[in-house]
Every structure is written in structure tokens, then in C-alpha cells.
Amino acid sequence: MVLEIIVMVKQVPDSQEVVIDPVTMNLNRSLTRNVTNSADENALEAALRIKDKVGANVTVISMGPPQAETTMIECLARGADRAILASDRFFGGADTYPTGLTVAATISKIGKFDIIFAGEESSDSSTGHVGPGVAEFLNIDQITYASSVEYEDGYVTADRELEGGTETVRVPTPVLVTVLLNSNSPRMQTLRRKIDAVKKGMEVWDHDKIGLQPEWVGVRGSPTIVRKMRPIKERERAAKKIDIAGLGDLARELYEKKILKLEEE
């Protein structure tokens, strides 16, 4: 029996380029490039390491618009065997509840699974809801915030980073694991793998294929109502150019303004 691993991934706007439209308060997605959520890359790498060790079938799944194809191809190019994108206009505007439901239903539709990996959270909304939500919908155990993950004989052993220590847990499969950002170094994509990934391509599943009613998903299935959004005011920086020779004067000025303190005070 080949181990079946599923990795949940999300395409997000590049957080270094995010621009908030000052009028609508929404992300201006036309100006930002889309990338794979970084923690999801760590989740995929964790899955691929298990695949390298004991052999596994790795399927990446995502819910998103068709342009998430670049992320799906990227995951295939890193070493995933299959890519399924749940994409349907009915899925649009979903909060974390119907997103979890859609992903869980997609996984059920795939059938057998032993381990589900997800990133700890997405960089664009940072809720960390969807991974645990999927585990609940599927009624399986979950290990959150894992920094290292091993698999042996039907058990997953993972280190969980907690405040003040590390907890090591051992859980029988099937289990869902959310993986910490930067907990490993994702492997490079090579030209060979990318070509093969493009040739292989992704599958696109709509609500009908997954077996979901339109009213359960997307904006209609979302209990969250956003009342108001406020941008964070950026702090003005003094941006002062100083001469090395003027360092003493600057220190005195800062000391007098009580910005700089002397060690003994």
C-alpha cells in the first residue's frame, strides 16, 4: 500500500508587494504578483521528505481562481504527483468556514488519505483556520504548528513549537499536520521538473464534481461579515542623513530629547 499524502496549498499575493487601495480598503491584486503561500511550500517539502524516505503519492489541492494554476504547476515541479484545483465561481468570496468545507469535500472525493499537510497559516489573511477546520470536517486528529514531521509504520511523530518549549507528539494516521513557516528549506524546481509539470497539468474540479451545493460554499456559505477595514498608519521615519563626524552631536541631541538613554540611568 502506497502512503497517500495530501498537501493543502494557497496562492496569495506576494506580501512584499501588497498594496491596499486607499478608497476601497481591499487588496489591489492587479498590482501584486501571486505566489505560493510560503508556509505551504514548507508543508509540501515536509510531505516530499516523507515521500523520499518511504515512498508516497503526493497530491496537492487548492481552492482558488484559475490563475492559481501557476502555484499548482510549481508544486508539481517540486515533486508532487497530482494537482487538483477546486475552482468554481460559486467558491468566490468564501471565508474560512466554507473554504475548509470545500477543501475537506475535495479530499473526501479523492478518497483514501493517510496524512494531510497544510501551512500553519496564509500570509494574506493569517487566520490559521482552514487546516484545523478541514481536520474537523473530516473528523480526524490534527497536529498544529509542527516544526518537524516524521512518518513510520502508520504513525506520525512531530515536534510542536510552543511557548517555552517543544512538544513531541506521536499520532496514528490518518492525521492532519499544519507546518510552521520556514521549518524546512523547500527544494528547487528544475527545468526538467517544470517541463514535466506543465505537460502533466492540473485537474480542475467544480462544485458539482466535488459534490457541494452552491449555497454551502463561497460568499453564501460564509458566516463572517466584515463591517469595516482600517489601514494601519505608517509611522513617518525621520530618514536623517548623518555624517560620521556629526555622530556625537546627534547622540547629544537624542539624549536631550530623551530618546537615547545612558546605560547607568
**Per CB under 8 A, 198 contacts another protein:** yes
Alpha-carbon separation of residue 183 from 43, 59, 63, 97, 167 (angstroms): 9, 21, 24, 26, 15
Piece of the chain touching another protein by CB under 8 A; list 79-87, 106-114, 188-196, 254-262: 188-196
Residue 243: burial class (beta carbons within 10 Å; 0-12, 13-18, 19+): exposed
The residues in 8-47 that bind another protein, with binding defined as CB under 8 A, are 33
What is the 3 state secondary structure string of 77-125?
A: HHCCCEEEEECCHHHCCCCHHHHHHHHHHHHHHHCCCCEEEEECCCCCC
**Closest distance of CB 31 from another protein, Å:** 9
**Per CB under 8 A, 52 contacts another protein:** no
**Per CB under 8 A, 239 contacts another protein:** no
**Per CB under 8 A, 168 contacts another protein:** no
**Per CB under 8 A, 195 contacts another protein:** yes
Q: Which of 32, 147, 189, 222 binds another protein (CB under 8 A)?
A: 189
For 89, half-sphere exposure in the C-beta direction (CA atoms, 13 angstrom radius) is 0
- 100 versus 186: smaller Cβ distance to another protein: 186
**Closest distance of CB 41 from another protein, Å:** 13
User: How many residues touch another protein (CB under 8 A)?
Assistant: 9
3-state helix, strand, coil in the chain (%, to 5): 35, 25, 40
- Report the distance separating Cα 209 and Cα 19, nearest Å: 35
- 28 versus 147: smaller Cβ distance to another protein: 28
Q: Which of 190, 206, 247, 249 binds another protein (CB under 8 A)?
A: 190
- 191 versus 239: smaller Cβ distance to another protein: 191
Alpha-carbon separation of residue 136 from 46, 85, 129, 161, 188 (angstroms): 22, 21, 11, 22, 33
Piece of the chain touching another protein by CB under 8 A; list 4-12, 126-134, 182-190, 229-237: 182-190
Q: Which of 162, 188, 238, 244 binds another protein (CB under 8 A)?
A: 188
